[in-house]
Structure 1
Amino acid sequence: MKKILSLLAVAAFMQTAVFAQTNWKVDKAHSRVTFTITHLAVSDVDGSFKDFDATIVADKADFSDAKVNFSANTASVNTDNEKRDGHLKSADFFDVEKYPTLTFVSTGIKTTGAGKYQLTGNLTLHGVTKPVVFDLWHRGTITNPVSKAGFKVTGTIKRSDFAFGSKFSSPVLSDEVTLTANGEFAKAN
């Protein structure tokens, strides 16, 4: 009888652990992925990706164990300037024919404050994969009428780490590129 109770307890625990995992999918209508780079050391140029996808998987309600996956279609880059966008899509920068997607896959998360985290992972851009660190802010979770969670991710990468735009020196385009993502996620299960 003890063995049966023990087996039932283990089965119940495993079932709870499986169902505790929650999947979240980005609500693209309420999300935006942007970047900023400095041009000629005197002005900032902003851009965004119009076609992207992201998911979060977490067991904990505070997302302190979140696993994040993100991808963007590089051909969807948009700076509100058709000529510049065409140049960004060329082999000088994104080379969209050869590298149609940029991706981020998280490898860890560390709590830095209430709702604040340090998100580590691998960013693949222009065919190069490098470890990166981003700041993640869990802005909150609501249920009305559906479950939604809000996040802001910020960080800076060096384009030289990814052999991105290597024809253009730092005085022309800053090596540092600031990335910002504001995301609203809907509970998928």
Structure 2
Amino acid sequence: MNILKYIPVCGLILACSDVLALEFKQVQANESSVTFSYKQMGVPMEGKFNKFTAQLAFDPAKVAAAQARIDINVASIDTGSMEANDEVVGKLWFNAKTYPAASFVSTGLKALGGNRYEATGKLSIKGRTLEMKAPVTFQAAGNRGAFDGSFTLKRLDFAIGEGEWTDIGTVANEIQIKFHLVVNAALSKK
């Protein structure tokens, strides 16, 4: 075996590694999820949104340049009850006819060490926009990765549950949102 013929190939691989980087940006919607949990009359409840889109751009070597946007079709809510689903898309809750989508648009990502980050961004629901922070973890295996994070919002800050539904003894004000986004990487130039 002539080892000398492999040296140019090794040199080419090393040279390319200086020019190319993995940027995670291809969201696998069928493997991703957006879920929520809350308390109703003191009883823990859970649900999910069945339709959402997500755009990401994340290069672990360029954390400050990371970008993310998640748009949720609020009418796709699944509380586990058809009656509750019909109620929460109505005017007093999400008012899905007037405000069909909730969105989160990142304004920054800060590395906290290891695979932990803090994402900041603007959360818009029902015509109201507030700044939110969410702890996020990122795990990569080759050219696939997963972002997992959660944050708690106060539903009354977004007028989710108006009129008789403002009673936080019936439905708690705190709603925990969890997201799991599976992404594939694409090679990009450094």
Aligned to 1:149: 145
Describe the SS at the equivalent of 2:30: helix
2:178 is matched with which residue?
Answer: 180
Task: Give ranges in structure 2 of 5+ residues lacking alignment.
Answer: 1-18
Question: Which segments of 5 or more consecutive residues in structure 1 lack a partner in the other structure?
Answer: 1-15
Other-structure match for 1:127: 127
More divergent stretch after superposition (25-34 vs 116-125) = 25-34
TM-score scaled by length of structure 1: 0.81
Q: What is the aligned-residue identity percentage? A: 26
Q: Check the 8 A contact 1:74/1:100 in 2, yes or no.
A: yes
Q: CA deviation at 1:112?
A: 2.0
Residues 23 and 113 of structure 1, relative CA distance in 2, 3 Å threshold: closer
Counterpart CA distance in 1 for 2:23 and 2:40 is 42
The reply to whether residue 56 of structure 1 matches residue 56 of structure 2 is yes
Structure 2 counterpart of 1:163, one-letter code: A
1:24 maps to which residue?
A: 25
1:63, CA displacement in angstroms? 4.6
After superposition, where does 1:76-95 map in structure 2 within 5 Å? 76-95=76-95
1:134 is paired with a residue whose SS is strand
Q: What is residue 164 of structure 1 aligned with on the other side? A: 160
Deviation string for 1:140-163 (max 9, x for gaps)? 2123xxx21111011101111111
Q: Distance in 2 between matches of 1:115 and 1:23?
A: 14
Aligned AA (1:186): N
Q: For 2:119 and 2:180, locate their aligned partners in 1 and report how far apart those are by CA, in whole Å.
A: 15
Shift of 1:65: 4.2
For these two proteins, the number of residue pairs brought into alignment is 167
Structure of larger gyration radius: 2
Alpha carbon RMSD of aligned pairs, Å?
A: 1.9
Partner in structure 1 of residue 66 of structure 2: 66
